[in-house]
A and B are shown apart, each in its own frame.
Chain A
Amino acid sequence: MFKKNNFIEHSIQGVLSFLKDSIFSEEVALKKGLLQSLDPRIKVLTFLVLLLQVLWLKDVRILMVFYGFCLALSCLSGVRLWFFLKRTWIFIPLFSLFVAIPAIFSFFTPGDAYATFHVGGIKFVITSQGLAVALLFVGRVLTCVSFAVLLSLTTRHFELLKVLRIFKVPQIFVMTLGMCYRYIYLFVEIIEHTYLAIKSRVGVSVHTQKGQRIVAWNIANLWTRSYQLNEDIYRAMLSRGFTGEPFVLNEFKIKTKDWLWVSWVVMVTFLFIFLNAHIKI
């Protein structure tokens, strides 16, 4: 399987640092920018409204306006454009491969031929209706993903969890999410430390097969460890008076700026509802 020891090393460390960077660095959320300064409750609600609109939009041009709006917001919030594009476009090939590309052909979307070619004696027809559908689809996915990524980038994770609690999402769900987050971090740490421990004891050149065994054993062991951890954490919570329903601190405050933002989003919403109803494709 693994030809080189380095492969394990690189892949482990690559995955770990990617995870740490993408999930745990709250670098952007800690910056001072437009979206960071909004009340998280307001932010989550308005983003939901925006996302719903994107799902309802039927016109690619309006969709593009939305996408541009999203990019503008990300710039105003101190997100580097290139970083943001990388983050969001990463999802596109996956979707286009399975949904958008098949949709452009006449098998799936019958209509006027836009281009025709033959592969191995089979005639492929790309229809202009198919293209429009695919374009709209990709545009929607891209815009939705961008808004979602922007929200999670500019909001600290614990704030998102708290908002869920305030919006009466069931406790067990929010707690599980929070624990997952913590566990992933701990897992990453454990793997990283175990890896370093192996390296410090055995040296860099772990024999490939042995290396694989150690990695496999550790993955299995992780579950046992996490079970023990779970129990211990539960005890620690009991010790501090936990009885099943934790009380959350609600320190969020809605400021004038938040109301400005809300009225802005409401205006945009009505404008687009109007446009969506009156524009003929």
Chain B
Amino acid sequence: MNNSIFELTDVSFSYLNKFPALCAINAHVKPGEKIAIIGANGCGKSTLLHLLDGLIFPDKGSLKVFGRELTEDAFDDEKFSREFRKKVGLVFQNPDIQLFCPTVKEDIVFGPLQLGIDFKDIEKRLEELINVLGIKDLLQRSPHQLSLGEKRKVALASTLIMDPEVLLLDEPTAGLDPLTTRHIIDLLLSAHAKGKTIITSTHDLHIVEEISDTVFVFSHEKKIVKSGSSAEILKDDQLLRDHNLIHVHSHHHKGAVHVHSHQHLDHHH
């Protein structure tokens, strides 16, 4: 058995063959790892996650999942397709896209229902999740009429309910209040404790340390410029500054102008 989940060799991807979104990516993800993907806007984080979720396929290079080459044809194999969707779950950056059912409840149970999981089990998991996320009151509402944070929680629930081995999260905490952010991180950490592999893209540096052992830093050239342990990367001010993750901040301090790099502690967009 090949001991890796994702193996990317020189993977490139461009939208409509015109807009490059990933250039020659090499990466390796082992079971049980916590990985954070950080980088400026438009550097290809979401694209990479979509690639890993088998929604788009590399133009060049090879992408292996559980030791098997991931191509469009691989999904013609129904058994593989089902296994893969069960094992890998993606929380989209834009919850509006992820939520397409008429009610929150239907949206959350959509995945497991498609995968033919017994309805009793689905209900049990649903109960647990809505309690943890505090979204019980939303169940009968229309997903598109919720606030951003509520939508994000529902989107997260709709992926977590499938209990995937690999969790891909595209900026799961963007726009959330601190307490909700905390809840979500705890949820991810407890999933990790159960042996799940977690890959998160984020701009939120102060959650990076908790949600990752390994960090991939993306550059404007849509490449991974550096990967390393989270402690090591977070110390590298120059690197972070070069990739828009922190910025130089000047302010008056006891009469003198004082310049230092600055990590936004409440970073919203």
Min CB distance, B206 to chain A, in Å?
Answer: 28
Q: Complex formed: what's the CA distance from A132 to B244 in Å?
A: 78
**Is B86 interfacial (CB-CB < 8 Å)?**
yes
- State in angstroms the CA–CA spacing of A157 and B144 once bound together: 14
Bound-state CA distance A235–B98 (Å) is: 9
- If over half of B's interface residues share one DSSP class (helix, strand or loop), that class is named, otherwise mixed; here it is helix
Q: Which of A179-233 contact B (CB under 8 A)?
A: 181-182, 185-186, 189, 229, 232-233
A168 to B162, CA, bound (A): 28
Contact A240 B97 (CB under 8 A): no
Looking at the complex, which of A44-52, A58-66, A88-96, A241-249 is the stretch in contact with chain B? A241-249
Q: A158-B106, A178-B102, A236-B92 are in contact. Are A241 and B111 (CB under 8 A)?
A: yes
Q: Does A238 sit at the interface, judged by CB under 8 A?
A: yes
Q: Are B102 and A247 within 8 A (Cβ)?
A: no
**Chain A residues whose C-beta falls within 8 Å of the C-beta of B103 in the assembled complex:** 158
Between B78, B92, B158, the greatest number of chain A beta carbons within 10 A of the residue's beta carbon is seen for: B92
Separation of A149 and B80 alpha carbons in the complex (Å): 47
Knowing A186-B144, A249-B109 are in contact, say whether A241-B115 is a contact too (CB < 8 A): yes
Whether B86 and A233, one on each chain, are in contact in the complex, defined by CB atoms closer than 8 angstroms, is: no
Residues B102 and A246 in contact, CB atoms below 8 Å apart: no
Tell which of B97, B105, B158 touches A233, judged by Cβ atoms closer than 8 Å: B97
B85 within 8 A of A: yes
Q: In the complex, what residue of chain B is closest to A158 when comparing beta carbons?
A: B102
Q: Which residues of B contact A181 (CB under 8 A)?
A: 102
How far apart are the CA atoms of A95 and B86 in the complex, in Å?
54
Does A239 sit at the interface, judged by CB under 8 A?
A: yes
B66 close to chain A: CB less than 8 A: no
Taking the closest CB of chain A, its distance from the CB of B201, in whole angstroms, is 15
Asked if A161 is an interface residue, CB under 8 A from chain B, the answer is yes
> Cβ of A237 < 8 Å from any Cβ of B?
yes
Besides the known contacts A239-B90, A240-B158, A242-B114, 11 further A-B residue pairs in the complex with CB atoms under 8 A apart: A156-B102, A158-B103, A178-B102, A233-B97, A236-B97, A236-B98, A237-B110, A240-B159, A240-B162, A241-B115, A242-B110
**A residues whose Cβ falls under 8 Å from a Cβ of B:** 24, 156-158, 161, 178, 181-182, 185-186, 189, 229, 232-233, 235-243, 246-247, 249
